[in-house]
Amino acid sequence: MDKIKFGAAQRFSYALCNVGMGIGAVPANVLLLYYLTQVVGMQPGVAGIVIALPKLWDALVDPFFGGWIDQLAMRFARRGAITLAACGGYVTSLVMVFSLPLIASPSQYAVVATLLLIAFSTSQTGISVMQFARASEMTSTPVELSSLLSLATVVAQVLSVVCSIAAPMLVVWSGSGITGYSRMAAEFGALITVSIVVFVGATRRVPVLSRASGATDLPLLASLRATAGNPAFYYLIAFIACTNSGAAIIFGFLPFANQYVLHGDSGALAVLEGVLGISALTGMLLAPALVKRFELIASLRACNVAVGVTMALLFAASFGPLWLTWAVLSGVGLASGIIGVLVQTAALSSTRTPLKSGVAVAIGFYLGIMLAGMKIGNAVGGFAMGQLLSLIGFVPNGVTQAPATMAWIRTGYTLLPLLFIIFAGLALLRVNLPREQEATAQVPGLAAGTV
């Protein structure tokens, strides 16, 4: 079947799905722990568990759920309705988790927040699977696919930077407290809805393709056994999980570090988020040039070392003026942006490794494992944040913190992520892609000549 040709407007509309999910990720990744502890009044250790449990749940169900929802779409030859239903769950749960009513029992708070976050994360998986399938159905060649994914990544990152800057400001302008966070989430929810509705409308003419030849419906354990002969893929998933843990810790600790270590206000927090986001975007743009000059895995290893060095420098910069932290944080974002592009390319390339059993496992199964790895990383990071805040004697809503507590907060957003970066580097040392796979790997933006 010939693919329907899409112009620039339709391709941009496809990218809006990434934008919608990116908008929702900003408050969930950056403000949630701060909101649960400082606004709701939840104990930090409990808040960390509340954030971690839904992601661990998703890590278990994503391979099942991703395959099931893709089969459902193929059975009814419709992806739009499923995407809109998942969007409804995504937006509703986001708004509700930032609009928790005053409940006397902390345990009830924890249960309600956990259930809402499970709904939020599961809905996110549904949207991601539908979007990834649409990308394959809208393109005919790896070059076209890389170009489309590159556009979606860059557009989403640009608007995510804007939202990262706007989120803390919107909370203040909307009245702060529970009211401010609720209105911020509602405003973001409206933007998410518009973005995904436009995506669904723009891709409604794309035919839903049947299962690729050679892909086999295997039980979960059988699929795991079949892919056990692809160690490069699993080492890359370990790398993804470790880097996501480090990123979750950095984002989660930034509001606390801004208030208690750097002594900044909401405007300063917006600048911190903006610097990190803009530098990450710059890294995404530089990734094709880097991998064109060096090998894919070698480039990943070099950038991981660069992140580790800049995280150590960030600890030193926290004792200096605020602008020094901004400067060093830009280096973290630059290297992280490059990694974000290259690791996706490496992971997708590794799925082409022939399996010893000769079984062709569906790409959707690999995608489910990749999403599970990301969420495990986020869960570990969220749990580590909450437990560390609890262990160091952090006082929610405290105007100031004890000197020892502030010292640990300083360590929490600099040296603690560094440990996960080291673990990620150890996993990456075990990755060995055949040269022909590296040579044919399509880095987003490289093959098409655009980013």
Q: pTM value?
A: 0.72
Q: Is residue 450 part of a domain?
A: no
Residue 167 has pLDDT above 90, yes or no: no
Q: Evaluate whether residue 446 is within a structural domain.
A: no
| Domain count within the chain | 1
Mean pLDDT of the region 426-434: 85
Determine the pLDDT at residue 303.
Answer: 92
Report yes or no on 262 lying in a domain. Answer: yes
Pick the closest to residue 131 from 178, 180, 86 (CA basis). Answer: 86
pLDDT tens-place string over residues 1-15: 454 566 677 778 888
Q: Is residue 1 part of a domain?
A: no
Q: Does the structure show a pLDDT above 50 at 112?
A: yes
Q: In the predicted model, is pLDDT for residue 52 greater than 70?
A: yes
CB atoms within 10 A of CB 76: 11
Distance, C-alpha 107 to centroid of its chain: 28
Contact 103, 109 (CB under 8 A): yes
179 and 7 in contact (C-beta within 8 Å)? no
Mean pLDDT of 132-136: 74
Q: What is the pLDDT of residue 329?
A: 92
- d(Cα 20, Cα 18) in Å, to the nearest integer? 5
Sorted by sequence, the CB contacts under 8 Å of residue 62 that are 6+ apart come out as 125, 368, 369, 371, 372, 375
Q: Where are the alpha helices (DSSP H) in 77-176?
A: 80-97, 106-138, 142-173
What is the DSSP track for 256-278? HIIIIIS---HHHHHHHHHHHHH
Per-residue pLDDT of 263-296, as tens digits, reads 888 778 888 888 888 888 888 878 777 777 777 8
Q: Does the pLDDT value for residue 132 go beyond 70?
A: yes
Q: Are 36 and 42 in contact (CB under 8 A)?
A: yes
Q: What CATH number is attached to the domain comprising 226? A: 1.20.1250.20
Percent over 70 (pLDDT), the chain: 84
79-92 pLDDT, tens per residue? 888 889 999 999 99
Any domain includes 448: no
Q: Is the pLDDT assigned to residue 331 strictly greater than 80?
A: yes
Average pLDDT over every residue of 245-265: 86
37 within domain boundaries: yes
Residue 147, domain extent? 8-440
Beta strands in 223-322 (DSSP E): none
